[in-house]
């Protein structure tokens, strides 16, 4: 149910019997050894499965988010928070003008959350008939429970973002000690503290953990779609 | 060390031997039974004590933040995230042009955090010689520890925001059951779920707990100032 | 009737029988020997008295205005005119959405006037049922008459801004010769011409003059509120 | 010395020996019985003479200003203050990048003043080598003196804007009583108070007064150019 | 039918029986040997004749357009595309609020086209009762046919912009070889490639060709007005 | 050479020996019977081959462009021109800060061209050391020559956009008569004129034509990359 696999007539037919759409946001930013687009690839793969199951449309993912902290890592592309806000506002308002009434934003990047929440609320305040919600797969209790049970806390660019579809090369065997980066420090300081970009912990987990982890995320998203 | 108690000559003298300043952000929004300005009053009272101790300047608090979720409660005044971002950017850039190099933003409202972090990072990226940091009193481990020890979890508009200086009338005796408001829902839905505005728990705590709680916040802020 | 002394329930009750609110704007800028916040403190103290008398709400003052001319004086914090405009627009539109229909902007800083007037007109054009007005205490004929009678022309940072509540230290005894600063010149030139920041005249006036001056301002504001 | 009568080679030659330019701002707004463009035509005619005398370039006048108060009069076209600010900022920054260092803004519309002043100051603060100034012909003491001597106070759309080059038809013989329009009221209220658009006084003056009035404005502008 | 020759009463009478207006956009940019304002002068002279014939109002031309490519030629003044968009948006929305329903934008500068089209569409989408259209004289088939028949291709700043009313001095006799400037290159590169600013071909054409060329443009515009 | 298949270390290594990057822009808009994302898919597939050959990085495509004309077709998502401009500006400026000096924007949507050109010029003006260029595959002479030779003019949503990778279902056999849509008309009028969304001509071409067409586009892009 990706827009890229549809023409407008398909969307018109869809709107005759449904009014839901999923918008994927994320980032193009350093993720240590895994893909720069991990924050798009993860919610996209999850959404593909969840939305196929629930027959829901997926808008083209916006591949840029708010990532100034990682600007010193080449390949990180960051928008100003105000630009991200205006862009999302126009996309969502445009969807509503076409008849979409229930919008689930599936966000893959924690740095976007603080803008997305007020944005969704403002749009909801202006469109009382709309239903807008935010889904963030990695924070969902049933997803995090898999990590907890396995004794593997989630951290940026550690095992929890290392899926078959985000992997772009080998990762170190040894675990990395946890790194604490004070909030608000510059990109240069962040890089000097973080080194390879991971916040610590193992760089990968067993395949079966990743499968359960991913499956839990899909199920959590199915739930979020049904609650729309 | 409030700017309102100083003239420009005082600031010029200060800048000859110091380059630190505290900026207070918060919100004008419903806080159940306590003051609409609680998110300003708390960081301001804490800052007054911490900054007196450390001899640091405090800029005039910005009394408006990002609060669209509470727009259905009269007296809540909310800025768009992009407006909040631009305003803070200009204030901080202006301070840097005058010689302030170390800026501690003491934010009293969780809804501002997601904008403040990228903003501070962006300004830091543009001013490599500057040191910017974010302090949020209620999230500091030593402050939250007081709440945990007392068995009193912090929630919006419960006991944890009910200080002598935020109290504007009587509060209910009974505890309120915790309320869960999904992130991103409209102001109307938020109000229908929240009722009086508190997210639950006791509406007040014993004076001695509040005193320890406040003292811990002051000490945490002193620490944050020293680390600048 | 300050919002900081109220909770949202108080405002809801107020709105059941009234629809007026006072918004205070000013500046954080050099005022020679008196407080950097004089342009907020004066309209705030005046509003406290006038609004208590007339039972009218006062929104939290915005402590930043348009003051690029004084940027070379440390402690002056200035917003771009476009930022000031957008911020005020959002605050006033937000108040109108909550039921406030009559808005009196009490502005304490001449540099804001040229933005406030078109802003109020534009908001009024978009809300035909609203009543918006601008009050500027020091320009009111009955207030200026006190100055004229006393033979004491008002100038920036001279006696006319030296109240008990703006005083932060001693002022020179001797009068200052009037200084003319061409409009539009840079902050550096302005400082080189102005020196201590006062535009000239006596630095202070007798207490009884200040009391009559202040009382006239309160009465003028009461009149402006009644005309809303 | 109008840009429209020059090609770029002429400007390049000019810049080899001069760095001054005049920017004309005004409004397209109701002026009672006289031209909607009076606020452009007057400073333009004055500038043509003054700049011919002083050999100074004139940029193409911006024919739109800040006029929301007159929006209820057909033919009035108004910009938001923030749009006017951004536009002027770009034009002046562009001129500076080409080598113009001394810029005289000759503004024909009082409603623009409050934006132009901070704008010029901000640009001056960012370009310490530049010299920016604001000229407003009708406020110049030697110009207003002609009006005072003739016992003819200047008011919007009265005799003082009725030149041969702004006249577009007949005007009433009788004087109009002065009208007071409160600052900040909506366009609809403004029109209901103002009627024909003039703020009062005679609609025209004797030709010889207009000639002296105009000549004084030219001379005042020559002075302003020389002081740049 | 220029606004500068009318007062608001004239416009009000006009609106009682018509709802059309022409907006002229162009540029202030290098045109080789001819006027910097050629892109305004040409559509303005054409509009004067076409609109006199059709009794249609002409708003004051906006003399600044999008011309960053020519910024290295002194006298070129360029707006950012976003500023140009916002300004036009406000002007057209303002006209619609006064009762103008049919708006013909006569644009004289190719660099504006890519913004004007989406802008007109967006305004049309928001005002279903409005009729907006874009007219660009030099691209009209009947106008270009004159050039083709005469064996004189149109290029920036060649004969096709050299009218009696844009001529500001002598032009070279010899034809210039055509110059190709890659799209998107900087102003410095553009100037180094273009030299005198013309894109090539003859610098002037016989008077009778120019007269037929101009007459065709007037007729084309008359047609565009009638189709509104 | 897609960023999604790389981590930041890969990009850092790349930047040690290269400074080129391709940015893909397009649209999410109706394309008749073919994919809503055709304007992204075509330049992306072309870029994949051209960039593999030339070893050049490809940034994540921005899947939203300027498409207000097609807003009445469900699935079309359009940005305001000013939003598109600001977003691209930030992305390109960010790349330059990381060491990319040569940027080729490969744009797949004609509606973006008018913004992209001034944007690239402005960025080039501010970064004299940079080389920015615009590539638009379908307009390249060697590409269009294939269409001309085959007697198949290119039009929106006809055969020329019907590749194996944009096809999402069956298309009509018969050719469509050419449709002319006046520039600047609203989305509703556009849809009423266009019907199925194609501007006319055959809906598909023989496979071997499409292969030559695509191959020519790849070769044209290789040329554009080499000229950077």
| DSSP string for D174-195 | S-B------TT--HHHHHHHHT
Q: Using an 8 Å Cβ cutoff, are D101 and D19 in contact?
A: yes
Among F146, F156, F158, F128, residue whose Cα is nearest residue F220: F146
Which chain E residues have a beta carbon less than 8 Å from that of F23? none
At residue E209, φ and ψ (nearest 5 deg) are -65, -45
The distance of B164 to chain A (nearest Cα, Å) reads 30
C35-52, pLDDT tens digit by residue?
999 999 999 999 999 999
Per-residue pLDDT band for D1 (boundaries 50, 70, 90) equals: confident
The distance of F117 to chain E (nearest Cα, Å) reads 5
Strand order in the sheet with B131-135: B57-58, B20-25, B102-107, B131-135
B55-76, pLDDT tens digit by residue?
999 999 999 999 999 999 999 9
Q: Which chains touch B (3 or more CB pairs under 8 A)?
A: A, C
Binary contact (F28, A168; C-beta < 8 A): no
Binary contact (F115, E86; C-beta < 8 A): no
DSSP state of D60: P
Find the closest chain D residue to C113 by CA distance: D114
Among the partner residues A3, A80, A83, nearest to F37 by beta-carbon distance = A3
D near A: at least 3 beta-carbon pairs less than 8 Å apart: no
Residue F59 CB partners (closer than 8 Å, separation 6+): A28, A77, F3, F21, F22, F23, F24, F91, F95
Q: What are the per-10-residue average pLDDT scores of chain F (228 residues)?
A: 96 98 98 98 98 98 98 98 96 97 98 97 96 97 97 96 97 96 94 97 97 98 97
Strand partners, A62: A25
Backbone CA torsion sign across E42, E48, E54, E55: positive
Start-to-end C-alpha separation, chain C:
17
| Chain E interface, Cβ < 8 Å to F | 66, 68-69, 71, 78, 80-82, 85-86, 105, 111, 113-122, 124-125, 128, 130, 132-134, 182-190
pLDDT score at D140? 98
E31-64, pLDDT tens digit by residue?
999 999 999 999 999 999 999 999 999 999 999 9
How far is the C-alpha of D171 from the C-alpha of D164, rounded, in Å?
Answer: 12
The distance of E164 to chain F (nearest Cα, Å) reads 30
Which chain F residues have a beta carbon less than 8 Å from that of A95? 77
Find the closest chain F residue to E127 by CA distance: F186
Per-residue pLDDT band for B1 (boundaries 50, 70, 90) equals: confident
Among the partner residues E116, E121, E130, nearest to F187 by beta-carbon distance = E121
Which chain F residues have a beta carbon less than 8 Å from that of A39? none
- Here the tokens at position E184 are 């998107």
Mean pLDDT of E82-92: 96
Mean pLDDT of E7-11: 98
CA-based Rg of chain D, rounded to a whole angstrom? Answer: 18
Find the closest chain B residue to A120 by CA distance: B184
Q: Which of E65, E70, E109, E125 to mutate to test the interface with F (most CBs of F within 10 A)?
A: E125
The distance of A223 to chain F (nearest Cα, Å) reads 25
Give this complex's ipTM. 0.96
pLDDT score at B80? 96
pLDDT score at D75? 98
Please give the torsion angle defined by the CA atoms of residues B181, B186, B187 and B193, in that order, rounded to the nearest 10 degrees: -30
Binary contact (B125, A187; C-beta < 8 A): yes
pLDDT score at A10? 98
Binary contact (A120, B184; C-beta < 8 A): yes
pLDDT score at F1? 84
Which chain B residues have a beta carbon less than 8 Å from that of C78? 90, 94
The distance of F67 to chain E (nearest Cα, Å) reads 7
Beta-carbon pairs below 8 A across chains A and B: 121
- Across chain A, mean pLDDT equals 97
pLDDT score at F99? 97
C52-101, pLDDT tens digit by residue?
999 999 999 999 999 999 999 999 999 999 999 999 999 999 999 999 99
pLDDT score at C1? 84
| Chain F interface, Cβ < 8 Å to E | 66, 68-69, 71, 78, 80-82, 85-86, 105, 111, 113-122, 124-125, 128, 132-134, 182-190
D172-194, pLDDT tens digit by residue?
999 999 999 998 999 999 999 99
How far is the C-alpha of C148 from the C-alpha of C144, rounded, in Å?
Answer: 6
E161-179, pLDDT tens digit by residue?
999 999 999 999 999 999 9
Q: Using an 8 Å Cβ cutoff, are D46 and D126 in contact?
A: no
In the block, tokens 């980032």 appear at A27
Percentage of the residues of chain A whose pLDDT score is greater than 90: 99
Mean pLDDT of B30-40: 98
Please give the helix or strand (H or E) that residue A90 lies within, else none. helix A81-97
- Please return the burial class of F5, using the count of CB atoms within 10 Å of its CB with bins 0-12, 13-18 and 19+: middle
pLDDT score at E1? 84
E59-76, pLDDT tens digit by residue?
999 999 999 999 999 999
Mean pLDDT of E191-204: 97
Binary contact (E36, D11; C-beta < 8 A): yes
Residue E95 has pLDDT above 90, yes or no: yes
Percentage of the residues of chain B whose pLDDT score is greater than 70: 100
How many angstroms separate the most distant Cα atoms in chain E? 54
Residue A1 has pLDDT above 90, yes or no: no
Residue ranges, chain C, pLDDT below 70: none
The distance of D206 to chain C (nearest Cα, Å) reads 33
Please give the helix or strand (H or E) that residue A151 lies within, else none. none
Among the partner residues A85, A132, A182, nearest to B133 by beta-carbon distance = A182
Global confidence as pTM: 0.95
Q: Using an 8 Å Cβ cutoff, are F176 and F196 in contact?
A: yes
């Amino acid at each position: 149910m990706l827009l890229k696999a549809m023409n407008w007539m398909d969307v018109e037919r869809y709107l005759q019997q449904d009014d839901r759409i999923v918008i994927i946001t994320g980032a193009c930013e350093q993720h240590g050894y895994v893909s720069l687009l991990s924050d798009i690839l993860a919610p996209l793969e999850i959404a593909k499965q969840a939305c196929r199951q629930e027959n829901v449309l997926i808008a083209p993912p916006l591949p840029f988010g708010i990532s100034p902290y990682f600007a010193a890592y080449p390949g990180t592309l960051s928008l100003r928070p105000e630009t991200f806000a205006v862009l999302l506002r126009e996309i969502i308002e445009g969807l509503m003008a076409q008849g979409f009434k229930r919008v689930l934003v599936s966000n893959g990047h924690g740095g976007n959350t603080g803008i997305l929440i007020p944005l969704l609320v403002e749009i909801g305040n202006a469109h009382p008939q709309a239903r807008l919600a935010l889904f963030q797969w990695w924070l969902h209790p049933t997803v995090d429970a898999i990590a907890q049970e396995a004794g593997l806390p989630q951290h940026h660019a550690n095992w929890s973002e290392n899926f078959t579809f985000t992997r772009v090369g080998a990762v170190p065997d040894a675990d990395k000690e946890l790194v604490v980066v004070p909030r608000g420090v510059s990109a240069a300081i962040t890089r000097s503290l973080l080194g390879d970009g991971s916040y610590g912990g193992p760089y990968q987990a067993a395949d079966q953990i990743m499968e359960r982890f991913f499956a839990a995320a899909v199920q959590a998203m199915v739930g979020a779609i049904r609650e729309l």
